[in-house]
Structure 1
Amino acid sequence: MLRRPLLQVMRQFVRHESESTSTTPLVLERSLNRIQLLGRVGQDPVMRQAEGKNPVTIFSLATNEMWRSGESEVFQGGDISQKTTWHRISVFRPGLRDVAYQYVKKGARIFVEGKIDYGEYMDKNNVRRQATTIIADNIIFLSDLLKEKE
């Protein structure tokens, strides 16, 4: 199997300023925007469609962080604290969007992979608000859906 040195591979993705012939160098570099969440669904999904845009399935997902406070974390003493973080999940991919709308239910335990998106919108009072959304690429169902429907 032919292997190329790391530097040779990296040169495929990055064009250095000295190699560019134009006044403004074009830099092509790899970046990563990935998020993985494991939690429980906070509400049944809704499907929305804006004018001229593809439909989107939206639901909330809760993740919990727990820690023990006190003198020593090794012993059972100390108080256990918990923080819940809520995430807005948006599913645009046609097949996944429809499956999420049909099968994701409040309370279900799911694993979501995707990317994080920061955006702005105008609320009902014409105030500009910021929104953080997780754009789901993959959803893995961890709850037994068949038992929940019976």
Structure 2
Amino acid sequence: MLRRPAWQVLRQFVRHDSDAIGTLVLERSMNRVQLLGRVGQDPIMRQVEGKNPVTIFSLATNEMWRTGESEVNQGGDISQKTTWHRISVFRPGLRDVTYQYVKKGARIFVEGKIDYGEYTDKNNVRRQATTIIADNVIFLSDSGLKEKV
């Protein structure tokens, strides 16, 4: 396998066109998310008329840090923040496997992209939603898998 130098790889993502002002330069960009956490609810599958079905579940990630004067010597208090992420799986094979085998409490790794959107709730109020569109889901714990029937 041939390997390109790092500058050639990075050049695909960053391009400069200083010679021609006003010339349209198409640049590559990146929208990638990697999350490792625990599933907060059993997945549900939804289908909107005329669109492909989607499997949806929540994923919790935790951030922990030590506060106080002696962070190095194990002193101080430990603080924790939990962040909840809405995960949507559209890919047909992955969508079905995720719906069938993932359950609340499973430890999983999700790769995908972040998507921002708007919706109108049942009270006719416009709300914003942040969703992770999963391209890959890796199951890390057997204890979180649903029992086979």
Task: Give the TM-score band, short-chain normalised.
Answer: 0.7 to 0.9
Structure 1 residue aligned with 2:26: 28
1:127 maps to 2:125: yes
Residues in 2 aligned to 1:3 and 1:82: alpha-carbon distance in whole angstroms: 41
The alignment's C-alpha RMSD in Å is 2.9
How many residue pairs match? The answer is: 146
Task: Give a deviation string over 1:40-75, Cα, whole Å, max 9, x none.
Answer: 000000000001000000000000000111101111
- 1:15·1:28 contact (CA, 8 Å) conserved in 2? no
Q: Match of 2:132, SS?
A: strand
Q: Match of 2:124, SS?
A: coil
The alpha-carbon distance between structure 1 residues 15 and 141, as it changes in their structure 2 partners (threshold 3 A), is same
Residues in 2 aligned to 1:49 and 1:147: alpha-carbon distance in whole angstroms: 23
- 2:87·2:134 contact (CA, 8 Å) conserved in 1? yes
Q: Match of 1:102, SS?
A: helix
Structure 1 residue aligned with 2:92: 94
Task: Give a deviation string over 1:64-117, Cα, whole Å, max 9, x none.
Answer: 000111101111211111000000000000000001000111000000000000
Task: Give a deviation string over 1:8-60, Cα, whole Å, max 9, x none.
Answer: x948x85847569xxx6332101000000000000000000001000000000
- 1:59·1:89 contact (CA, 8 Å) conserved in 2? yes
Residues in 1 aligned to 2:6 and 2:77: alpha-carbon distance in whole angstroms: 52
Residues in 1 aligned to 2:104 and 2:32: alpha-carbon distance in whole angstroms: 24
Residues in 1 aligned to 2:49 and 2:3: alpha-carbon distance in whole angstroms: 51
1:70 maps to 2:64: no
The alpha-carbon distance between structure 1 residues 126 and 74, as it changes in their structure 2 partners (threshold 3 A), is same
In structure 2, the gaps of 5 or more residues are none
Normalised TM-score (structure 2): 0.85
Structure 1 residue aligned with 2:59: 61
Q: Match of 1:98, SS?
A: helix
- 2:103·2:144 contact (CA, 8 Å) conserved in 1? no
1:140 maps to 2:149: no
Structure 1 residue aligned with 2:147: 149
In structure 1, the gaps of 5 or more residues are none
- 2:61·2:84 contact (CA, 8 Å) conserved in 1? yes
Structure with greater Cα Rg: 1
